[in-house]
Structure formats: structure tokens, C-alpha cells
């Protein structure tokens, strides 16, 4: 059983649902700032998690304007700016960055978003094909596996592997070809208004924007016919 004509969230044309990962299915735990500060402490540097978190958010916004977020170079620049308050000497920086980069490949550094497993399970029962469509790299394969979420997905499209990032229409077209479906047959779920919602709708897909507390994965689950 799949969608029906009277359901605006799951139109009858939809045969597959794709999901963003970071911020949608999983979120850093307890926060990026806390994890970066913990890594720095193992290298002998003190940093305030709240300050690092604030600087991380600023650095992420700034560098995402010029580099793909799935590139190691992107994360190296973000880490450098986020941890500037710790004044890491150049000869210690590489080792600290490598540990921070590796930390986010561990499932324990992420929490599963409330309602994620329930929604994925219900979608499978209803006959939808599921796929990951995320601006990320292969680390998320391990994260999904550590949390047992990988078993729900038939395909995994990561920008670091595909070569294009949302909202670039090429990653949506790549996904359509791999799934063997037309744009109108795919619904994308994500938390970014530009990369996920605008990107998907521009490609002719259906889209659902997560914007807690207004819209959540539980909101989508309640509308599953």
C-alpha cells in the first residue's frame, strides 16, 4: 500500500521516500561543541563547549558558502575556526583534527531523532522504497549502521560519493536514475529549507521540511495513510 490522492503528505504518485541524515534522522550528541571540546581536552587543550558550539555554527555557515560540506577540507576549516579559542599550535592541529573528524563516524556521537525508527518502519510496511540522500560522506554509513537504521534503506546516496550536493539538481537526477523513478514519484524529507525543501521541489519532487516543533517526524508519521 502506498499513498492516496487525498493525502497531501503522501500523494498517490509517490513510490519512494528519501531522507537527509544529519539534523533529520540523527543529531550530534550532546553537541558538536561538546565533542570538539572533549577531543581538544585529550590533546591537552581547554575549551568551553558553549563557545566552541557558537563558533562552530558561525564557521559552518561561512565555509558552506565556498566548499562542499562533505569535503575534508571543509571540516578542517570549520574545526580550525570553531576551536580558535583554544589556540591550538600548528604542530598539534592535524592530530586534533583527525581525532575530531573520526569521532563523527562513531554512532555514540549521534542520537537518533525522535520518531525516526518508527517512521522508517511504518514506511517500509506501507510498501515505500527508502533511500538516504544526504550532503555528507561515508562516515554516515557507519553511523546509520551503529544505530541499526541502515536496515531500512534500499539505497544510500551521499554527496561525498556522488560528487554533487543538494540543492544541485544533478544529485536529484542521479537519485532518480538509480531508483528508476520519475520526480513526481519521490518524496524527500529533510531539515534544510534550501538544500532539502527548495532543492527537491525545484527538481519536481515532493518535499517535507522538518521544522521542530512545528513539523517533526512524528507529524509525518501521523499522516501516513
pLDDT tens digits, 183-206 = 999 999 999 999 999 999 999 999
Q: Are 68 and 119 within one domain?
A: no
pLDDT tens digits, 83-124 = 999 999 999 999 999 999 999 999 999 999 999 999 999 999
Average pLDDT over residues 48-60: 98
Strand partners, 133: 157
Q: Are 64 and 135 within one domain?
A: no
What percent of the chain is modeled with pLDDT above 90?
A: 95
In a domain, 122, yes or no: yes
Could you tell me the pLDDT band of residue 4, with boundaries at 50, 70 and 90?
low
pLDDT tens digits, 34-46 = 999 999 999 999 9
CB 140 within 8 A of CB 134: yes
The count of structural domains within the chain is 2
CATH of the domain at 140: 3.40.50.1000
Q: Which of 108, 137, 167 is a domain's end point? A: 108
Q: Are 187 and 85 within one domain?
A: no
Predicted TM-score of the model (pTM):
0.94
* Structural domain harbouring 76: 32-108
Q: Are 71 and 182 within one domain?
A: no
Q: Are 168 and 130 within one domain?
A: yes
- Cα Dmax for the chain: 61
Exposure letters 88-117 (e unless 16+ CB within 10 A, then b) = beeeeeeebbeebbebbbebebbebbebbb
Q: Is the pLDDT of residue 140 over 80?
A: yes
CB 140 within 8 A of CB 158: yes
In a domain, 74, yes or no: yes
Q: Which of 78, 108, 138 is a domain's end point? A: 108
CB 25 within 8 A of CB 1: no
Q: Are 120 and 101 within one domain?
A: no
CATH of the domain at 60: 1.10.150.720
Q: Which of 54, 79, 108 is a domain's end point? A: 108
Query: What's the start-to-end Cα distance of the chain, in Å?
Result: 9
Amino acid at each position: 500500500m502506498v499513498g492516496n490522492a487525498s493525502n497531501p503528505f503522501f500523494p498517490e504518485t509517490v513510490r519512494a521516500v528519501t531522507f537527509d541524515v544529519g539534523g533529520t534522522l540523527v543529531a550530534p550528541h550532546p553537541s558538536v561543541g561538546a565533542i570538539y571540546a572533549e577531543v581538544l581536552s585529550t590533546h591537552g587543550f581547554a575549551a568551553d563547549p558553549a563557545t566552541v558550539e557558537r563558533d562552530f555554527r558561525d564557521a559552518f555557515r561561512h565555509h558552506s558558502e565556498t566548499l562542499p560540506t562533505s569535503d575534508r577540507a571543509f571540516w578542517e576549516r570549520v574545526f580550525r575556526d570553531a576551536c580558535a579559542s583554544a589556540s591550538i599550535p600548528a604542530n598539534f592541529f592535524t592530530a586534533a583534527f583527525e581525532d575530531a573528524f573520526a569521532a563523527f563516524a562513531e554512532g555514540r556521537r549521534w542520537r537518533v531523532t525522535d520518531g525516526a525508527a518508527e517512521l522508517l518502519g511504518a514506511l517500509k510496511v506501507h510498501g515505500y522504497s527508502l533511500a538516504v540522500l544526504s550532503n555528507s560522506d561515508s562516515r554516515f554509513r557507519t553511523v546509520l549502521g551503529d544505530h541499526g537504521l541502515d536496515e531500512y534503506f534500499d539505497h544510500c546516496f551521499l554527496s561525498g560519493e556522488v560528487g554533487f550536493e543538494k540543492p544541485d539538481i544533478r544529485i536529484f537526477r542521479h537519485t532518480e536514475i538509480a531508483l528508476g523513478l520519475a520526480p513526481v514519484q519521490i518524496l524527500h524529507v529533510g531539515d534544510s529549507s534550501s538544500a532539502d525543501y527548495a532543492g527537491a521541489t525545484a527538481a519536481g519532487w515532493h518535499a517535507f521540511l522538518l521544522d521542530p516543533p512545528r513539523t517533526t517526524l512524528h507529524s509525518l508519521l501521523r499522516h501516513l495513510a
